[in-house]
Structure 1
């Protein structure tokens, strides 16, 4: 997660809340696209204040990066576990095929 790295005073950022923000933002980026997704909409979807988002993320771009990284992290273990048996070429083909299926799936478009 690309959290706000500025040294801020007060309570530390809540990890679970950060994940809630990333999840809500990820859904909205898929549904609306980057341009139409606003931090106000993310806050509304996550049922939090916009200030809470800024406590975790520096800006919309940092939140987008975190949402993309989280989505890729979810997909990577499945892609890497396919085709474990066989030659290196077979394993690479399995990972490549899995990546292609992921890129062509409806929730990536």
Structure 2
């Protein structure tokens, strides 16, 4: 399945709930760029080192994004600030529907429910 959109519902962090559009791995999330700039990291080199070049990533209108990190074999849901909110270890082509772990205390109240849309 090649979902055009991923929908996150009922997570404990309202900013990451919503519809995410598929993006090519050649493009870089603006929130990712922001974090790199804040830390004086080379944006392109850091994205190439972390993002799985064989998988698309998904972006919310508010800048939150979901991508697969090839360094730790996990899908990441990052908030609009570019920082991680949830992770799930999975090698599939799409973010997993379950198995998410909260990275922030407030996120632990409810783990995300994921659906795919064509």
Structure 1 length normalisation: TM-score?
0.25
Quick check: which has more Rg, 1 or 2?
Answer: 1
Q: Which has the higher strand share?
A: 2
Higher helix share goes to which structure?
Answer: 1
- TM-score, normalised to structure 2's length? 0.24
